[in-house]
Amino acid sequence: MTHVAPYHCDASDDPHAHNHVYHDHDECQDGKRIKPEHRKAGTGGKPRCKVCMNLESSM
Ligand SMILES: [Zn+2]
């Protein structure tokens, strides 16, 4: 598990839930689904991804 700087998806027309949150773990399954061209640095003003939260609390 790798903690990384926050990143998010900027594809606002994509209905997938992983685009409405920001991620901060490299191992996040949802974060991995973000296409490279849509992966942006920062939180994007979005709430934190639940998967990323679980990754951190499982340590
Ligand atoms: Zn995540």
Listed residue (51, 58, 57) closest to 26, CA to CA: 51
- Give CA–CA dist 44/20, Å, rounded: 9
- Give CA–CA dist 59/10, Å, rounded: 29
**Mean pLDDT for all residues in the chain:** 87
Query: What pLDDT digit, counting tens, does each position of 8-57 carry?
Result: 998 866 666 567 899 999 999 999 989 899 999 999 999 999 999 999 88
pLDDT score, position 13 = 66
Position 17, amino acid: A
For ligand 1, the distance from its centroid to the CA atom of residue 50, given in whole angstroms, is: 6
For the entire predicted model, the pTM comes to 0.84
For ligand 1, the distance from its centroid to the CA atom of residue 15, given in whole angstroms, is: 16
Q: Which residue has the tokens 């951190």?
A: 56
For ligand 1, the distance from its centroid to the CA atom of residue 52, given in whole angstroms, is: 4
